[in-house]
Structure 1
Amino acid sequence: MILDRLERMPVGSFHYKLLLVTGLGWLFDSMDTGLIAFVLPVLAKEWGLSPEQMGWIGSIGLIGMALGAVISGTLADRIGRKKVFTITVLMYALATGMCALAWSYESLLFFRFLVGFGLGGELPVAATLMSEYAPTKLRGRFIVLLESFWGIGWLVAACISYLIIPQFGWKIAFVIGTLPALYVFLIRLHMPESVRYLISKNKIEEAKEIILDLEKKLHVISKPFEKSLTAAEMGSTNEKTPGPLSLFNSSYMKRTIMLWLAWFGIVYSYYGIFMWLPSIVFQQGFAVVKTFEYVLIMTIAQLPGYYCAAWLVDVIGRKYTLSIFLLMSGVASYFFGNAASPETLLLWGATMSFFNLGAWGVIYTYTPELYPTSIRALGSGWAAGFGRIGGMIAPALVGIMLANQLGIGNVFLMFAGVLIVVSLVVLTMGVETRQRQLEDISFTADLFKIDKDNVESVQ
């Protein structure tokens, strides 16, 4: 079978090149999201924006991300992962450049919506593609490492904001954000279409060509495919592309509900906290340059969080790693909101970044593993899209709370509560997927109950 040969391939240059190509997309996405967070305090001062208006600049991008995730996830199961990935990267890069031309608050909102649409579409598709090529034993590690590029992107955004914005103004940051448009050419040259997607569409010959090419690149002794094999024996499901309602059939309803709630909590807390983080630190009395320094230190803590999560997902599993990281992120959020000195602010801010971004790495690993190929991008896109509703609400809600003088402590108490509840949801409703092939996890869900302690491959 085609998938057997794909699974037997040794980890090599192809896998790391694919990780780099998809990871660069992640980095550029993060850089753009980080730039708007760092631009907000400067823009608010220059345009005289209220906290509510600042909140909406953050929320409008999340509205675009929700629609982008749902539409792109659906399209990726119909026209392919590679095409959708390319289109969405190009869209958000060009829209970011348009933000530099914004002449008013309303025009900036419109351009941020377009940016969000492209960002939301690219992320779940990239994670799906990587999960469909990563070898079973290291799939979790590869996806968390892919997500770690998000932390690097935030570091790039922080450096741009620290070194460039104070000198040249906020518009230059968005001009730099157009660079990913050039990255599209890398995608077209070095990213193959998903073999699993091609098989699900009964495009057997294309899938075989990719396998033979990969075996050649990885120095695997190749042998021709038997032409007498049927499509089913090749690994093809030959299914029609299901619609969104398939996510709620008896096989997938529990995991869909769990994922949607987990995504909602993670996105709600992340964008509510990190879109406001520079502004909140600035409001604590630090100068703009000092604010960027503090947030840069907190951002650096994201990277070891990713790498710790990348190790744990293949040691204790996806479900338990995600639950622990969500819980600790909630605890750190509470203490950050009640920090009484610059030292404790930095300590708890770094701890919060460590666990929150580590949780992001795990959720992107976990989500594609819970659905079959025919609805994998669909399931990932709709879960991410539902999560973006939390991202729409949180930045605007923080602005309203601060405008009504409810205090930073109450804001972070709210985030702590959400994260702890979501941690319990994952712990009680999640199933473990460590060391299982994608087909084992997905297609047999309605045949037996996956025991939480049973991590052996299904025969």
Structure 2
Amino acid sequence: MSRYENLQRITALAPDFSSGYQEVCQLIDAWSFGRYQVLLLLLCSAGYFAVCADLLLIVYIEPSLEASFGMSNMDFAFLNFATCMSSNAGAVVFGYFSDRNGRRTPFILSATIAALFGIGSMLSNSYWLLMALRTAVGFGLGGLASIDFLIFNEMCPKRVRGKATLVITVFGALGVLLMAGLNLVPWNEYLPTSEKWRFMIFIGALPMLVVCIARAFLIDESPKHLVSVERYSETIEVLKKIARWNRERFEPEADTPTLHRLSLESSSDLDISLDDIAKPGIVTRFLWHPLKAYGSVVAYNPKLAVCLFSCWLFQGLANWGLTLFLPEYLTSKGAISADLTIFLMVACELPGLLLAFCLVDVPFIGRLNLMRSLFLLAAMSSLATAFIHQQLLIVVSCCAIYFFMIPNWGVLYTYSSEVYPTEMRSTANGLFQLHSLLGGMFSPFLSGKLVDKFTANNGSQSEVDCYMLAWTSCLFVGFISSLLLRKETLTISL
């Protein structure tokens, strides 16, 4: 059969391609949440555990880094800036190649990069070497953030997708809680202050090293991605494995007849050779194609892209800006104990996530109303903190911020993975991770300047608390942006 006849054949079969994809979606939604999904949930949760633990890790090791390398607040801010920039690069690169070449390889590679360079960074003997290695860690963590929620959502039945995705966020909270708990240990009795950061980095990277090995041996390509790129035989093989693990009945001829027929035809009739297809040049492949892919996400629904990116941006600005210099802020504010207060704040993430877990799949609430409520309540808690000076109330209001703000990450990841079609879903997730590009450019330096000003005034009650008011305004803008989102994704199939 000639190349022209093959192309005609492919065009004629276009409706069947859509039917085959729908069969895969319906089959996954009909199956139970079984052992395969539990394993995938654990591996994805471990990735998000590392992402969140790293955020608080870098906050807690600041004093130790200052003792080891003589860093100033601006040096520390620049370290966070470089890590954040590389995280953006990782999200963009892994997001694009995940849609182009599949989910599995980026899923494994991002974890491997984060683990190996994380372990390596504990051996740094200079500020600049530490920055270089932590920049590489950030690149891997950016890939984790853009891939982990997505690959899990594509293999999860829609009736439990919202709740199961929030479980991943719970593991992120546990990662932060681990670091907060370790910081309460009197390490000065066991280690010199200048060496504490090495131990903390090792603890943060070790679980990821184990997980990246498990990912390589246990995880398959997403069947929804496989069918979207017309790899039908591989799709059936992955579905057979999922059915076997979950003890479900699966007969391709009966359960997915269109997909079964396409798999037979693709292995015989559709024999276009790679030599018949012009190979793009380097510039086209590595610059124009990615730019075109990210442009297609915006073109798909410009209002959706702008409003959802704004939600990500201001959630990230508030979270990172508030957290980076939180110990210094709480000390100047007069909190009972900065470290204990942060530990309690992190602990409050868990009941907050439990509340979101109960509400995210409620029909009259769904993703959007929950997102809006969490933005608004976090903003109100932050605003209250700016005007409170009584020690106990400072702890209560700070805990309320994390109670409402942190669960919103899970809602944003869930909504962003559901609202775009499979062929651009990972690219869209990579695009939204760019929110930390702007956040990383401004929040470390702005946060450092604001806390320096607040500390210089010793948290005077007569001074306006610009530190907390800045992050309050970010949360309010996030709330307004969420009001402009209109498409609820609670009941849609991926």
The TM-score normalised by the length of structure 1 is 0.88
Residues 369, 224 of structure 1: CA spacing in aligned structure 2 closer, same or farther, 3 A cutoff? closer
RMSD of aligned alpha carbons: 2.5
**2:242 equivalent to 1:176:** no
Deviation at 1:4, TM superposition (A): 2.2
Gaps of 5+ in 1: 439-459
- Corresponding residue to 2:237 among 199, 204, 209: 209
Deviation at 1:331, TM superposition (A): 1.4
Deviation at 1:173, TM superposition (A): 1.0
Deviation at 1:28, TM superposition (A): 2.0
Structure 1 residues 306-345: aligned runs within 5 Å: 306-315=353-362, 316-345=365-394
Partners of 1:185 and 1:113 lie apart in 2 by: 22
**2:440 equivalent to 1:391:** yes
Deviation at 1:214, TM superposition (A): 1.6
Partners of 1:70 and 1:427 lie apart in 2 by: 27
Deviation at 1:404, TM superposition (A): 4.4
Partners of 1:48 and 1:415 lie apart in 2 by: 29
- Corresponding residue to 2:296 among 246, 250, 271: 246
Partners of 1:52 and 1:404 lie apart in 2 by: 14
Deviation at 1:286, TM superposition (A): 7.0
Bigger Cα displacement from structure 2, 392-401 vs 419-428 = 392-401
Partners of 1:186 and 1:345 lie apart in 2 by: 43
Partners of 2:338 and 2:474 lie apart in 1 by: 26
Contact 2:84–2:436 (CA under 8 A) maintained in structure 1 = no
Partners of 1:46 and 1:209 lie apart in 2 by: 53
Q: Which residue of 2 aligns with 1:86?
A: 108
Deviation at 1:284, TM superposition (A): 4.3
Equivalenced residue count is 432
Bigger Cα displacement from structure 2, 304-313 vs 388-397 = 388-397
**2:456 equivalent to 1:427:** no
Q: Which structure has the larger Rg over C-alpha atoms?
A: 2
Contact 1:148–1:303 (CA under 8 A) maintained in structure 2 = yes
Q: Which residue of 1 aligns with 2:422?
A: 373
Contact 1:255–1:370 (CA under 8 A) maintained in structure 2 = no
Q: Which residue of 2 aligns with 1:442?
A: none
Q: Which residue of 2 aligns with 1:37?
A: 59
Deviation at 1:19, TM superposition (A): 1.0
Partners of 1:126 and 1:197 lie apart in 2 by: 14
Partners of 1:48 and 1:190 lie apart in 2 by: 44
Partners of 1:232 and 1:317 lie apart in 2 by: 37
**2:333 equivalent to 1:277:** no
Bigger Cα displacement from structure 2, 223-232 vs 327-336 = 223-232
Partners of 1:302 and 1:61 lie apart in 2 by: 24
**Could you report, residue by residue, the CA deviation over 1:156-214 in whole angstroms, capped at 9, with x for unpaired residues?**
11122222643322221112233112221211233221111111111111111111222
**2:214 equivalent to 1:189:** no
Deviation at 1:50, TM superposition (A): 2.6
Contact 1:127–1:368 (CA under 8 A) maintained in structure 2 = yes
Q: Which residue of 1 aligns with 2:351?
A: 304
Residues 391, 267 of structure 1: CA spacing in aligned structure 2 closer, same or farther, 3 A cutoff? farther
The TM-score normalised by the length of structure 2 is 0.82
Q: Which residue of 1 aligns with 2:451?
A: 402
Contact 1:165–1:173 (CA under 8 A) maintained in structure 2 = no
Bigger Cα displacement from structure 2, 128-137 vs 389-398 = 389-398
**Could you report, residue by residue, the CA deviation over 1:97-155 in whole angstroms, capped at 9, with x for unpaired residues?**
23322333333222222121111111120011011011112111111111121100001
- Corresponding residue to 1:22 among 20, 26, 44: 44
Partners of 2:98 and 2:183 lie apart in 1 by: 34
Deviation at 1:233, TM superposition (A): 7.1
Contact 1:258–1:430 (CA under 8 A) maintained in structure 2 = no
Q: Which residue of 2 aligns with 1:229?
A: 258
Q: Which residue of 2 aligns with 1:456?
A: none
Residues 430, 40 of structure 1: CA spacing in aligned structure 2 closer, same or farther, 3 A cutoff? farther
Partners of 1:142 and 1:401 lie apart in 2 by: 38
Residues 231, 220 of structure 1: CA spacing in aligned structure 2 closer, same or farther, 3 A cutoff? closer
Q: Which residue of 2 aligns with 1:444?
A: none
Contact 1:144–1:364 (CA under 8 A) maintained in structure 2 = no
Partners of 2:388 and 2:253 lie apart in 1 by: 63
Deviation at 1:79, TM superposition (A): 1.9
Deviation at 1:285, TM superposition (A): 6.0
**Could you report, residue by residue, the CA deviation over 1:215-256 in whole angstroms, capped at 9, with x for unpaired residues?**
22222222233697368978x9x9x9961110122x321111
Partners of 2:475 and 2:431 lie apart in 1 by: 20
**2:90 equivalent to 1:68:** yes
Partners of 2:187 and 2:97 lie apart in 1 by: 37
**2:174 equivalent to 1:152:** yes
Bigger Cα displacement from structure 2, 141-150 vs 44-53 = 44-53
Helix, strand or coil: the match of 1:187?
Answer: helix
**2:117 equivalent to 1:95:** yes
Residues 111, 338 of structure 1: CA spacing in aligned structure 2 closer, same or farther, 3 A cutoff? farther
Contact 1:68–1:116 (CA under 8 A) maintained in structure 2 = yes
Deviation at 1:51, TM superposition (A): 2.4
Contact 2:335–2:395 (CA under 8 A) maintained in structure 1 = no
Bigger Cα displacement from structure 2, 74-83 vs 55-64 = 55-64
Contact 1:52–1:396 (CA under 8 A) maintained in structure 2 = yes
Bigger Cα displacement from structure 2, 388-397 vs 294-303 = 388-397
Q: Which residue of 1 aligns with 2:10?
A: none
Bigger Cα displacement from structure 2, 314-323 vs 276-285 = 276-285
**2:449 equivalent to 1:382:** no
Residues 110, 338 of structure 1: CA spacing in aligned structure 2 closer, same or farther, 3 A cutoff? farther
Partners of 2:202 and 2:257 lie apart in 1 by: 55
Deviation at 1:258, TM superposition (A): 1.3
Bigger Cα displacement from structure 2, 57-66 vs 151-160 = 57-66
Partners of 1:63 and 1:368 lie apart in 2 by: 23
**2:126 equivalent to 1:104:** yes
Bigger Cα displacement from structure 2, 223-232 vs 292-301 = 223-232
Helix, strand or coil: the match of 1:437?
Answer: coil
Q: Which residue of 1 aligns with 2:284?
A: none
Contact 1:260–1:383 (CA under 8 A) maintained in structure 2 = yes
Partners of 1:416 and 1:286 lie apart in 2 by: 19
